[in-house]
């Protein structure tokens, strides 16, 4: 379905980003990857799906490096047709104890990077298809883009911002072939969430299984994690003909979290 298209997925060397990159690759899209961690291994996983893969190590807190990454993607594959803004970090502390430098980093990476990548991707998307436009911008927000949780002020603020940015991007391109939507996962078992499970088990002296059950039980009625594969399938839907008039949504995959 996406053969000949190029998708750039930030934070795609593990977790949700890698799951989305692989799902888009299975539909034929060439992939530009970004992130830290197992760079070679993750690239190999995507390349094994039969598409072209490139990697750029932009620090998503630095606008100049984001600009370099977007220019790199265009040089490699012509243009970015699908932009997935996924890069994110987390820090947990009460507001009065929240380190200022951590606040700044979370806002920069979780929110501002999506703005910078979007503003740079839009002109080519708007000019595509003989000026009618074609593009898909998918922002990986969070259930915390819709609701709050204590001790996550920067993350919640950033993710609410991502949902707002999604709506404005969709509205500004509503009469074109460029759409923008946000995915709002609940608990996904990524390295970021595993650290929270580990911390809970250590603090309470309980097993990993019990810590996992407690974590899910606090918020997620289904008592199961959403998977990167499920999130990847939703990203593919947004890129499909069925998603052509889905614009500006914040689509929660949260096991019933916000239904309560």
- For 113, what's the count of Cα atoms within 13 Å in the CB-facing half-sphere? 33
Q: What are phi and psi of 178, to 5 degrees?
A: -105, 125
Closest CA to 117 of 73, 54, 178, 167: 73
For residue 39, which phi and psi values (nearest 5 degrees)?
-65, -50
- Between CA 172 and CA 119 the distance in angstroms is 12
| Catalytic positions | 155
Q: Facing residues of 183 across strands?
A: 140, 251
How many angstroms separate the CA atoms of 88 and 40, rounded? 20
SS3 content of the chain, % helix, strand, coil (to 5): 50, 15, 35
Q: Is 99 exposed, middle or buried (0-12, 13-18, 19+ CB in 10 A)?
A: exposed
Residue 93 bridge partners (DSSP): 152
CA dihedral 168, 238, 85, 248 (to 10 degrees): 20
Q: How far apart are CA 112 and CA 2, in angstroms?
A: 28
- Among 20, 49, 55, which residue's Cα sits nearest to residue 34? 55
């Amino acid at each position: 379905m996406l053969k000949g298209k190029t998708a750039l997925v930030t934070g795609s060397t593990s977790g949700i980003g890698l799951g989305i990159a692989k799902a888009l690759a299975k539909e034929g899209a060439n992939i530009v990857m970004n992130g830290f961690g197992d760079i070679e291994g993750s690239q190999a996983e995507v390349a094994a799906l039969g598409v072209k893969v490139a990697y750029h190590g932009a620090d998503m807190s630095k606008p100049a490096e984001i600009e370099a990454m977007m220019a790199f993607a265009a040089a490699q594959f012509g243009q970015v047709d699908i932009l997935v803004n996924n890069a994110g970090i987390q820090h947990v502390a009460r507001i009065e104890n929240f380190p200022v430098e951590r606040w700044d980093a979370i806002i920069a990476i979780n929110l501002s990077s999506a703005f910078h990548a979007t503003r740079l991707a839009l002109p080519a998307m708007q000019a595509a298809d003989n000026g009618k436009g074609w593009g898909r911008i998918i922002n990986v927000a969070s259930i915390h883009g819709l609701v709050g949780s204590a001790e996550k002020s920067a993350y919640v603020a950033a993710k609410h911002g991502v949902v707002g940015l999604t709506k404005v991007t969709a509205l500004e391109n509503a009469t074109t072939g460029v759409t923008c939507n946000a995915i709002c996962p609940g608990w996904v078992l990524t390295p970021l969430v595993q650290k929270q499970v580990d911390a809970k088990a250590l603090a309470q002296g309980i097993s990993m299984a019990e810590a996992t059950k407690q974590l899910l039980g606090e918020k997620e009625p289904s008592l199961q994690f959403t998977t990167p594969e499920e999130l990847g399938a939703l990203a593919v839907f947004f890129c499909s003909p069925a998603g052509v008039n889905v614009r500006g949504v914040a689509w929660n995959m949260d096991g019933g979290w916000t239904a309560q």
